[in-house]
Amino acid sequence: MQIPDPDRALQARIQQLQAGDDETGDGKVGPCGDGDAFCGVALEVNDGLALVQLKGFVRVSCGDAVAVGYTKLSANAGGGVKTNASGTAYLVVEAGSTEKQTTILL
């Protein structure tokens, strides 16, 4: 499972998984590469374990302007999200281009 880093969670259904540096697999999570699909957000990493939000609203960093409404997104190289025509559609409820953060529904 590939995930970008978050800024904060607004509402969450959360699971604790083993954190890997670059390794992902059964029960493990790791950082996304630029353009990767993501299905959750790492809220915290501590002692080799990651707290991962898989559903609900979450605020994430974004390098470019993200339109409110259903927008196709993927991970960016900086640990956030970016618009991507071949990405997965997420509901964006707060564009936040000034702060370079956006709120999405996972």
pLDDT the model gives residue 67: 87
What mean pLDDT do residues 25-48 have?
85
What mean pLDDT do residues 84-102 have?
88
Looking at per-residue pLDDT, the higher value among 28 and 57 belongs to 57
pLDDT the model gives residue 30: 82
Across all residues in the chain, what is the average pLDDT?
79
Inter-residue contact 87 to 73 (CB < 8 Å): yes
pTM: 0.76
Q: How many helices (H) and strands (E) does the chain have?
A: 0, 11
- Burial (CB < 10 A; 0-12, 13-18, 19+), residue 21, is exposed
